Amino acid sequence: MELALWVSTVLVLLTTVLLLKAVLRRNRRKYNLPPGPKSWPIIGNLNLIGALPHRSIHELSGRYGQLMHLRFGSFPVVVGSSVEMAKFFLKTHDVVFIDRPKTAAGKYTAFNCLDITWSPYNAYWRQARKIFLAELFSTKRLESYEYIRHEEVQALLCDLHMVCGRVITIREHLFTVNLNVITRMVLGKRYLQLQGKVVPKGVPVQTPSHFRWLVEELFFLNGVFNVGDLIPWLDWLDLEGYIKRMKKLSKMFDQLLEYAVEEHNEQRRQEGKGFVARDMMGVLLQLADDSNHEAKLSRDNIKAINQDLIAGGTESSTETVECGISELLKKPEVLAKATEELDCVIGRQRWVTEGYLESPLPRGHCKRDHAPASGRSHACTSAFP
């Protein structure tokens, strides 16, 4: 008797739930959505996305067209995969689509979405963009750091000369020189541990391999498909372990940036009103004291912006130069032509400096792109969320 009552209760509840679901679905507003594959309950179309999401989406777009509707877990997604669609989303209706979705990566690896990548479109984002354009990347500011780039490139060439005749991984050398350049420009000094040099206790310097791991881990975790982002009620499970890795990475970056902030604040206290910003961290700390800005910079804002500068300035620059070298090595005739032009215009007894790139060349010579396909053949990213 009790069993029959229990079964009846369950059946009534299930029937009620199904009826409510049917009514809600009937009353739900229907949208004129782009074509796309039929989605499954809970997972949506995640079953169609393989280990390389951009390739899976490319195959689907070939079937459903340049504008396609998918469902990633609980969220609808519209995919544009043509020049026209890219222009529609990124230029014509840029303000409408400018915000990125709230994700675990933005929360845990970007100081709770305070960097310029994950921040929503608001007063702070507009202020940060102005700071990047007018203060950090102005022509005058970048020219003032030319001596840093010159010194580090010379150090790179000396290192390469010492290993002449051996097999090397050029990416490691390029990453190290780019990291040294960017940390000196952003934080005021190198933060790489040199072999045989004693490091004072408490200074969070890193070996080149460990710093490279930090940056690569940051890029990887900012591009993964985290199940908790797509199916929020599974977030607490951390099925892939990405949240744990994000928290660990965030702690490491925060330790480095917190040390740099304290070091600069101590320098400002010692110099008083005579303090002059010599790096980008110093510029940001001075701007944080200015109450006339649209949005005041907090300590976490400053650390988030500096993290963007360090990560973006090392990985992307390394990738670009490595791809350019790769293209030249694959085309010996182009490499020979480029070498001939350098020998004719600059000569073999002088260093190639940034000044030569900006000055007019003698008649009969032109600045040309000797690896024109490097940017297209080796794209730095495959999709924009």
Name the maximum alpha-carbon separation found in the chain: 103
Q: How would you class 178 by CB atoms within 10 Å of its CB: exposed for 0-12, middle for 13-18, buried for 19 or more?
A: buried
Neighbours of 205 (CB within 10 A): 18
- Mean pLDDT value of segment 39-61: 90
Segment 237-259, tens digit of pLDDT? 898 999 999 999 999 999 999 99
For the segment(s) 124-330, the CATH number from 3.40.50.150, 1.10.630.10, 3.80.10.10, 1.10.3210.10 is 1.10.630.10
User: Dihedral sign, CA of 162, 176, 337, 356?
Assistant: negative
Q: Give the contacts of 125 (CB within 8 A, at least 6 positions apart).
A: 116, 119
3-state secondary structure of 77: strand
Separation CA 374–CA 380 (nearest Å): 10
Chain region(s) in the chain for CATH 1.10.630.10: 124-330
Q: What pLDDT score does 290 carry?
A: 82
Helix (H), strand (E) at residue 75:
strand 75-80
> Average pLDDT over the chain, rounded to whole?
84
pTM, two decimal places: 0.81
* C-alpha closest to that of 214 among 179, 185, 253, 182: 253
* Residue found under tokens 């070996």: 207
Segment 294-326, tens digit of pLDDT? 788 999 999 999 999 999 888 888 888 899 888
CB-CB contact of 92 with 62 (8 Å): no
Q: Provide the token pair at 161.
A: 């000369």
